[in-house]
Amino acid sequence: MEYAGLAVVFLLALLIALGQAFLNDLIGYRKPDPMEDYPYECGVPLYDESVRGRFKQGYYLLGLLLILFDIEAAYLFPWAVVFEEIGLYGLVEALLFVGILALGFLYAWRKGALDWEL
């Protein structure tokens, strides 16, 4: 209990800090600025209107396809290295793994994710 004083100080400090923040919110002087929500670009007016735009969906698609193909290959490497030792059991497991990922590939194919257009 000899450190109880520290805990009290900590709680008091927290209370004072939060209390002041809350008071500021409650009775603080408010003056909304028209430029408040403006995108910040080093203090000068916006040069490039495209910064307001959204990312193209294609990039997300690319990311998902990367998981589908690249990660698959990454996991198949260690399997290939120990293939001789684990034999048929390993083959079946790997086939299941590839089979599940193949369903993902089938899905991407049928839904037109492979028709690349930006």
Of 32-40, 50-58, 62-70, 106-114, the window that binds another protein (rule: CB under 8 A) is: 106-114
Q: Per CB under 8 A, which of residues 58..87 are in contact with another protein?
A: 85-87
> 38, 60, 35, 33: which is closest to 49 by C-alpha?
38
Per-residue exposure over 21-40, b if at least 16 CB sit within 10 Å of its own CB, e if not:
eeeeeeeeeeeeeeeeeeee
Residues 6+ apart with CB under 8 A from 75: 97
23 binds another protein (CB under 8 A): no
Which residue in 103, 115, 117, 118 binds another protein (CB under 8 A)?
103
Min dist CB 29 to another protein, Å, is 28
Interface with another protein (CB under 8 A)? 85-87, 89, 103, 106-107, 110
